[in-house]
Structures are given as C-alpha cells and as structure tokens.
Chain A
C-alpha cells in the first residue's frame, strides 16, 4: 500500500468523527492566523546547526551528516499518531535506496523517555531517529506550535499526554515537515503542511536527494 493510500485510509476512519474534524480545523485555523508558518525554514536557506541524541543514545550533528552526504529531516509527532507511524514506515521503505545513493534519512520526534527507540524499533529500524528534546530543532525550523484547546482536550481524552511524553510543561507539536538538505547545507526541497494528515511522498524525497 502506498503512503498516500494508508494516509487516506486513516483519514477515512476519522471522517465521521466530529470532534476529530473540529480539532483538525482548529489546528489549521491556528496556523493560518498570524501567518505562523510564513517564517518556516524555506528552500535556499541553510539548515540550522544542531547536536541531538539519536534514539540509541549517540549524538548526531548537522556538520557530521553533511560531511557524509545529503540528508532529509522529517518531523514527526510521536508513536501515538497513526499518520506519523505510516510516514515512518514509508521512510523505512526507501531507506535502502537512499543509502545506496549516499544519502541519510532522519526522522525527528519531540518524545522522550525511550519512546523514540520504541517507535523506531517498531516501525523503522533502518531510519535514524533524532530526539528533539524541548523541540529546539523544530523551533529553529519554524515548525513548532502550541497545541490549541480543542485538540488538546481530544488527545487528553485518548490518554495521550504530550507533556509527560515530551517532558515539557506545555503542549507543543511540530508541523509535519520534511526538508531535504544537500552537501553544502542548503535546503533544496521541502514539504510543509499544517494539515497533519498529509505528508511528503517518499518518491519525492528520494528524487530530491538524488
């Protein structure tokens, strides 16, 4: 099943769920107001410097990645999100081809306490999973937002406690985004969508990395 087919199936499951649709509407409205995503990292800008742990406890830096070749960075929300799980599995599906082309695929999550390793082991052993503790990388890329009330209540009602999962006092999430960065550190391709049910196409990522 293609990623888009899986995402469509997940959307269809929730199409009649009024609370879910209201929550999604609220997120879209929040991000549309004030042009929150206007300042997000754009193509032709340099990808920000970072040093973050991966899920296995090794530190990964932007410069070390660049020394080895181009890479893509995909922001995910967590293992609780079926769209993120689908995206992660799709990344795992192209990991071999990316590697053969000398490129690295990275997923980034704000979750902590071993959750990133669980998510990686369950869905994408072939993908490097970065742990963006306190969402500093998401903030640097301009894709971080404060979870608005209706969505927050919905998640809490499903026992998804973002504050505990992320170790932060406030509920924050990254907009699902994928950035492709080539060897000189510049973003050459980006997928950015306030709608968390939509994600980058793996084929597009591969093409951009080539």
Chain B
C-alpha cells in the first residue's frame, strides 16, 4: 500500500470529484487517476465508480476506507514530532481518563518514558465513572481512557484489552477476615459494606447481593478512593475495590474469591482521531506490552 496512492484515494473519497481531489493533492488529474488505479489493482477491486457525471465509492471502496485511513494515520502517528511538518512548538497535552480506583501507579513506567521523550508534555489525569469517560473521549475532552469492559462501548471508540482486573475486599487491619488468604462472597454475609466508588466493584456488589444478603453501611465516601480508604480504616465498614486500588496504612486488601469477579480493563481512544506524539507514544507503549493484573503486591 503506497502512501501517495492512499492519500490521493482519500482525497477522492472525500471530494467525490477527480478535479477537486487532484487540486487538493497538487497533482494532475491523470496522475491521480493512475495512482488510484494502481491501488485498485493491488487491493484487487474497483474502489471508485464513475457514472456519467457522478463519482462515488463502490461497496469495496467503502469497505477499504477504514483500512486506508488507518494506514495513512499510522504513518503520521509514527513520527516523533521533532522534525519537519510534524514539528510542534508549544505544549503537547496527554489527557488520560481512568476509572475510579484504578491503580494509577501501574502507568508510571509508561508515563516516565513519554515525559522523557516529549518536550513540553502536559500530562492531565482524570478519574471518573466509565460512562463519563466514554463521553469525554467522544467529546474530545480526553485523549485516552482506561476503563473496565462492562457495558458495550460506543462503536466510535477503538478499544484493546490490557489486563483482567480482579476484585478485592478492603478490610481494617486486624479484621478477622484478614486472616484468610482470600475472601469468598459468602463470608461477607452480615458485614457492613460501604457504597462502592468503582463502577466495576458496584457491579460485583449487585451480583453478589443477588445470592448473599449484604448489609449496607450507613456511611459514604462519594467518589473518593481516599475517603473510602479512611472509612474502612476507621472500622466503619468493608469495601469492594479493584485489586491493587491505592490505600493507606490501617487497611489491608484480600482478593475476593469466586467466579465471574474479574473484568477486562480496556484502553480506549476515539476511532480515527489524529494523535499528537505524546498520545501516540503512550498508546503504543500500552499496546506493545503484556500487562500483569495489578495486586496489592505491585
């Protein structure tokens, strides 16, 4: 797939007019036509249909469009941003949204690399519920998000699974359940459970509650993992949290035992949106590696 041929075809797909496409690409119409023909030969089908005065994409052309756009964008996104047309002056933002309670520190090695290579990086981290993160991505308020694969995501978001996130019970130090290596859902019977801060934990809470009667604690931590941690340390209740969620002294975490307690954590970006060098680097670093599921040990 030749980038020049692709670029000419994309211009044609957008303008649906050979003359305008050639103008836009700064070439003669025969040159553009020839290039598109060669692309058609390689891909093995007609991409463009010329009917009298009307130019349109064939069904095959429409089917190939995502691949050709993706290829063109990937070639743009591989650049470092340090030279040529890609050279940037000014801040390079990287806005990452995270589901609440996701252990942010797992991202440290990636962020360290991006910061070391991208000058004038502006790193913005935000925590929110999965629905809000998806909306923010689509609205352009975030570049990338890490969220649990719960409800289906909108098609306009590209997504890749990174790791499978288990759940844990956050206990005050010295709690009898802390003596166990893991806590089965059944053992939560009769315990006061604080409202969940993480959506994934809330979903598990609801599922467990169908089989095991759970007592709700009278206290609440809103959307703050730090506040939740404090309430647990005070002995005001237990909490269901993603395994490895940040917490302080005074609390211990034990894995929640049982089937169906784990959810995939997905990396999501708006499909087809051009990425600046910081976003591109971060997304590539995240997709290149194999992730270990975070746990208290990490």
Residues of A participating in the B interface, judged by any CB pair closer than 8 Å:
30-31, 33-36, 38-39, 48-53, 55, 57-59, 61-63, 112-117, 131-137, 139-140, 142, 144-146, 148, 167-170, 172
Minimum Cβ distance to chain B for residue A148 (Å) = 7
User: Given A30-B42, A135-B71, A148-B44, do A63 and B83 touch, yes or no (CB 8 Å)?
Assistant: yes
Q: Which of A33, A112, A144 contacts B41 (CB 8 A)?
A: A33
| Selected contact of A57 from candidates B86, B117, B285, CB within 8 Å | B285
Kindly list chain A residues whose C-beta atoms are within 8 Å of the C-beta of B44.
Answer: 30, 33, 148
User: Smallest CB–CB gap between B268 and chain A, Å?
Assistant: 13
Q: Is B235 close to A, CB under 8 A? A: no
Q: How far is the CA of A83 from the CA of B113 in the complex (A)?
A: 32
Residues of A with C-beta under 8 A to B78: 48-52, 132, 136-137, 139-140
Tell me if B289 and A139 are in contact (CB < 8 A): no
A61 to B81, CA, bound (A): 10
Q: Measured between alpha carbons, how far is A144 from B5 in the docked complex, in Å?
A: 13
A31 partner residues in chain B, CB cutoff 8 A: 42
Tell me the minimal C-beta distance from B188 to chain A in angstroms: 34
Say yes or no: B160 contacts A51, CB within 8 Å. no
* Residues of B239-298 whose CB lies within 8 A of A: 277, 280-281, 283-285, 287-290
| CB pair B3 A140 closer than 8 Å | yes
Residues of B61-101 whose CB lies within 8 A of A = 66-67, 70-84, 86
Interface size on B, residues (CB 8 A): 48
A50 lies within 8 A of B1 (CB): no
**A140 and B75 form a contact (CB under 8 A):** yes
Q: How far is the CA of A142 from the CA of B39 in the complex (A)?
A: 13
**Once the chains bind, are B288 and A55 in contact (CB under 8 Å)?**
yes
Main SS class of interface, A: mixed
Given A57-B288, A135-B71, A136-B74, 11 new contacts (CB under 8 A): A30-B44, A34-B39, A34-B42, A39-B5, A49-B80, A51-B80, A52-B284, A53-B281, A57-B285, A142-B3, A170-B66
Q: List 26 A-B contacts (CB under 8 A).
A: A34-B39, A39-B4, A49-B78, A49-B82, A50-B78, A50-B80, A51-B79, A51-B81, A53-B285, A57-B110, A57-B113, A57-B285, A59-B113, A59-B114, A62-B80, A113-B290, A114-B290, A117-B290, A133-B283, A133-B288, A135-B74, A136-B75, A139-B74, A144-B1, A168-B70, A170-B66
User: Does the CB pair A113–B289 fall under 8 Å?
Assistant: yes
Q: B42, A61: Cβ atoms under 8 Å?
A: no
